[in-house]
Structure 1
Amino acid sequence: MTHQAGRHFLQIPGPTNVPDRILRAMDYPTIDHRGPDFRALGERIFGKIGKVFGAAGPVFIYPASGTGAWEAALVNTLSPGDRVLMFETGHFATLWKKLAERLGLKPEFIEGDWRHGADADAIGERLAADNAHEIKAVCVVHNETSTGCVSPIAAVRRAIDAANHPALLLVDTISSLGSIDYRHDEWGVDVTVAGSQKGLMLPPGLSFNAVSEKALEASKTAGLARSYWAWDEMLEPNRNGFFPYTPATNLLYGLDTALDMLEEEGLAEVFARHDRHAAATRAAVEAWGLEVLCADEAAHSSSLTAVMMPGGKGADAFRKVVLDHFDMSLGAGLTKLADRIFRIGHLGDFNDLTLMGTLSGVEMGLKLAGVEHRAGGAQAALDHLAAAAAEPAMRAAAE
Structure 2
Amino acid sequence: MSQYFPPADTAAHYAELLASPPPTAADLGLMQGFPAPLAQRVTWENWISPPYNRWAFRNLSALRPSLRVWRGDAPTSPLVAAPRDLAGFSFDSVAGRKVTLNEHLAASYTDAFLVMKDDHVLLESYFNGQQAQDRHIMFSCTKSLVGLVGEYLLHQGILREDELTGRHVPELADSAFGDASIRHLLDMAVGIDYVEQYDDPDSGSSHYGYASGFLPAPAGLARYASLYEYLPSLQKKGAHGPLFHYVTAVTEVLGWVLERASGRSAENWVETLLWRPLGMEQDGAFLADPWGRAVVGGGFSGSLRDMARIGQLVLGEGSLGGRKILPAAVIRAIGRGSDPAYFAAVPEFAEWAPGASYRSQWYIWNDGAPEFMACGIHGQYIYVNSRNRVVVVKQSSLPAAESLAGADTVRLLRALGRGL
- The answer to whether TM tops 0.5 is no
Please say which structure displays the higher CA radius of gyration.
1
User: Of Structure 1 and Structure 2, which has the larger fraction of its residues in helix?
Assistant: 1
**TM norm structure 2:** 0.26
TM-score (norm 1): 0.27
